[in-house]
Chains A and B, each alone.
Chain A
Amino acid sequence: QSALTQPPSASGSPGQSVTISCTGTSSDIGGYNFVSWYQQHPGKTPKLMISEVSKRPSGVPDRFSGSKSGNTASLTVSGLQTEDEADYYCSSYAGSNNLVFGGGTKLTVL
């Protein structure tokens, strides 16, 4: 299975909103509502931020939201804060128990 496509970088000023896209195919994102998003600060472990396209685990601020349209999923971070600066990875179920990740997007808070 091929990796999902994410923009390498995104940026926004504190308080603004930014959206990160994740494009796949009908065999992964388009075929299942099992898209997850992970946040990874430098040198740290990935942290689950969104599961099943738009569900926030307990403890994740509601500034983080997810959506999907066709073969593209999106993560929106509203009210950007400096601590949101990190790498973000999408993943999708790809059938037959397979998981596929995106290449990652580096979010910079200007």
Chain B
Amino acid sequence: QLQLQESGPGLVKPSETLSLTCTVSGGSISTSTYYWAWIRQPPGKGLEWIGNIYYSGSTFYNQSLKSRVTISVDTSKNQFSLKVISVTAADTAVYYCARRVRTERTLDIWGQGTMVTVSS
């Protein structure tokens, strides 16, 4: 059964770079059926799609975050990653990675999420 697991620092200083990795187990990331996505949820607030990547490296980003976000993939490690530069307190959130079904445009399997706090 496919599982996703986020990992990375739980605390990042303002103006620095947030870096997270999602490890996919129980299946290959190199499949034409899916994209691999990042979503975040600030404390007490709703979900926000950050972007997603195809195993070939093609990326799509939320326009509101595009200037600060980079998503990359490492197929040899079955991982994909998120970087957010110049973070502020507004980037404090639970960050989820998820599998996005290309044809259905839906997020069918999610990681457990990791809390990232931006604070000095």
Q: Which A positions have Cβ atoms within 8 angstroms of B?
A: 1, 3, 32, 34, 36, 38, 45-48, 51-52, 55, 57, 89, 91, 93, 96-104
B106 within 8 A of A: yes
Partner among B101, B105, B112 whose Cβ is within 8 Å of the Cβ of A45: B112
Using an 8 Å CB-CB cutoff, how does the interface string of B77-118 with A read, 1 for contact, 0 for none?
000000000000000000010001100111110111100000
B47–A46 touching, CB < 8 Å: yes
Partner among A1, A32, A47, A104 whose Cβ is within 8 Å of the Cβ of B46: A104
B52–A97 touching, CB < 8 Å: yes
Partner among A32, A45, A51, A100 whose Cβ is within 8 Å of the Cβ of B96: A45
Instruction: Report which residue of A52, A57, A97, A99 has the largest number of chain B beta carbons within 10 angstroms of its beta carbon.
Output: A99
Residues of A contacting B110 with CB < 8 Å? 45-47
Q: Decide: A97 near B60, CB < 8 A? Known: A45-B111, A46-B47, A89-B47.
A: yes
Task: For residue A87, give the distance in angstroms from its CB to the closest CB of chain B.
Answer: 8
Residues of A contacting B106 with CB < 8 Å? 34, 36, 48, 51-52, 91
B49–A100 touching, CB < 8 Å: yes
B105–A103 touching, CB < 8 Å: no
Residues of A contacting B37 with CB < 8 Å? 99
Q: Which B positions have Cβ atoms within 8 angstroms of A?
A: 35, 37, 46-49, 52, 60, 62-63, 96, 100-101, 104-108, 110-113
Residues of B contacting A34 with CB < 8 Å? 104-106
Residues of B contacting A57 with CB < 8 Å? 108
* CA gap between A107 and B110 in the complex, in Å: 21
* CA gap between A13 and B85 in the complex, in Å: 46
* Chain A to chain B: the 8 pairs with minimum beta-carbon distance, closest first: A97-B60, A34-B105, A93-B105, A51-B106, A99-B49, A36-B106, A101-B47, A104-B46
B47–A104 touching, CB < 8 Å: yes
* CA gap between A75 and B103 in the complex, in Å: 21
Q: Decide: A101 near B105, CB < 8 A? Known: A45-B112, A46-B110, A96-B60.
A: no
* CA gap between A5 and B14 in the complex, in Å: 31
* CA gap between A21 and B52 in the complex, in Å: 27
